[in-house]
Amino acid sequence: MMADPITLLQLNSRISSLIAGDVSLHDVWVTAETGDLRVSGGHCYLELIEKDPANGRPVARMRAIIWASHYAHISSEFAVATGQQLVSDLKVMVKVTVNFHPAFGLSAVISDINPEFTCGDLIRRRMMMIRRLTDEGIIDMNRTLPWPDVPWRVAVVSAVGAAGYGDFITHLYGNPSHLRFSTELFPAVMQGENAPQSIIAALDEIAVRTDDFDCVVIIRGGGATGDLASFDNYDLAANVAQFPLPVIVGIGHERDVTILDYVVAVRVKTPTAAAEWLIGRMEAALTRVRDLAAEIFRAATSKVSGGLQQLAYYQGLLPSLSLGKIDRARSSLDAAVPEALRHAVELIVRRQNDRLDAASRLVEALSPQAVLRRGYSVCRVNGRAVTDASALNAGDILTTVLASGSIKSTVTEIEI
Amino acid sequence: MQPVTDLTYSQALAELEQILAALRGDDCDVDKLTSMTSRAVELLNYCRSRLTSTDEELRRILESLQN
């Protein structure tokens, strides 16, 4: 026998009053992840999900609502404390009261939020990503890439028409030194949960044209504190870390960091600062060229003046060198000639003397005096030397000359 | 010698540094001084032109940005 049926509304009303009567379902602090979050008519609709830590599959799920009267306050408090807006895929701690509406079913009405829980979770998540990137050996890859001397060809990843992009371009091309830059925009979604995939797609486009660029700039402009959680994405971080060109990130966050800050070559706060950084780099290159110009001018000038100095030195040296040569020649002549001459003259004199000595000895040997001294004598008659006895007559007076003195005698006998 | 416009910026810079080293060293021939210096000037102008753009270029880029 069946009891009288009740209507669905009656059933739901029973549930509703059961739930409303249970104080353990009132103002309970619950931890969960957000999902499918959207704002409509000032009210915020979302799902609270709990996932199995092992496989990420949902193990619990409930619809949740933040009424407009609370949402303005909760969302701004959350953004200020966490540096990021209340969006999907965040771990949150919320104060809920469970409500069952006969027409709309079960939902958790959120009346408060504890941002510190989310902060802690964001940091935890980031630390885990850093550990993973470190373990995989890629965390420093982009940071240690060598910078080209002149990073003037810039691939820009930004949202089309974003204020930040305009700031970047105006600042870059308006640099006072007229430094040359060439930029190309690779559009990407820079907000929300699609941002990582969109940025990765833009990077992929640049990656096939790495020869055309010197570096990549990822910028997001100007506005209020955004949902930086979407940048705390492992896939995006791993892509940027392994990107073959140096990456500069300027996504407009003052206080908070994202995982990108740990992997990029250069981290700046704003798009303008990114332009500033590039300008500084090019200024340094320009200064280097100016310095080189000055140094080369100096070196060439000193080379010329050095050469002239050397010439002047030789010029000054030349007269004294050649005069000195003559002087030296003269003085050596002075020293050498008299000696040699004396030598030669003495030799001649000595030879002549020797010859004279020999001659005088011969002369002496042949002189009549010498013959007389050896015992010979000369007989003269009437002053003429007698050499033939037949020319004499008896009675002739002979004069005999001896070596010393002479005698007179008369011829008495002649023998022929 | 390679025309400067065929060089990359880094190559031009490296050649400039070589010239400077030669000028500073003792093995620089005075006969080569003029040609070295004029090459250096050429390289310097090239590097400078790679770094800086003309007013006309700038105007063109900024105009294209506004369109």
Let me know the angle formed at the C-alpha of A334 by A329 and A339, rounded to the nearest 5 degrees: 125
Q: Has residue A25 been placed in a domain?
A: yes
Q: Has residue A406 been placed in a domain?
A: yes
The type of residue at A146 is P
In which domain, by residue range, is B13 found? 4-66
CATH number for position A51: 2.40.50.140
B10, B16, B23, B59: which to substitute to probe chain A, counting the most A Cβ within 10 Å?
A: B23
Overall average pLDDT of the A189-199 stretch: 88
In which domain, by residue range, is A384 found? 371-410
Per-residue pLDDT tens over the stretch B4-44: 888 888 899 899 888 888 888 876 777 788 888 888 889 98
Query: A113 and A171 share a domain?
Result: no
E strand or H helix that includes residue A31: strand A28-40
Q: Has residue A379 been placed in a domain?
A: yes
Query: A116 and A184 share a domain?
Result: no
In angstroms, the separation between the Cα of residue B58 and the nearest Cα of chain A is: 7
Q: Has residue A328 been placed in a domain?
A: no
Domain final position from A123, A145, A161:
A123
Q: Has residue A241 been placed in a domain?
A: yes
Contact A238, A135 (CB under 8 A): no
CA nearest to A304 within chain B: B30
CA atoms within 13 A on the CB side of A184: 13
Chain A residues with CB under 8 Å of B51 CB are 150, 152, 179-180, 282, 285-286, 289
Q: At what angle do helices A234-241 and A115-135 cross, to 10 degrees?
A: 40
Query: A25 and A118 share a domain?
Result: yes
Total count of domains within chain B:
1
The CB density around residue A385, as the number of other CB atoms within 10 Å, is 9
Does the pTM surpass 0.90? The reply is no
Total count of domains within chain A:
3
Dist CA A35 CA A12 (whole Å): 26
Per-residue pLDDT tens over the stretch A339-396: 776 777 777 777 777 776 766 666 666 666 766 777 777 788 888 888 888 888 888 8
Overall average pLDDT of the A27-38 stretch: 94
In angstroms, the separation between the Cα of residue B63 and the nearest Cα of chain A is: 11
Strands (E), A76-171: 91-101, 105-113, 153-158
Query: A200 and A280 share a domain?
Result: yes
Q: Has residue A335 been placed in a domain?
A: no
Stretch 304-343 of chain A: residues touching chain B, C-beta under 8 Å: 304, 307
A178, A283, A289: which to substitute to probe chain B, counting the most B Cβ within 10 Å?
A: A289
Q: Has residue A14 been placed in a domain?
A: yes
This model of the complex carries an ipTM of 0.77
Is B67 in the A-facing interface, judged by CB distances under 8 Å? Answer: no
CATH number for position A263: 3.40.50.2300
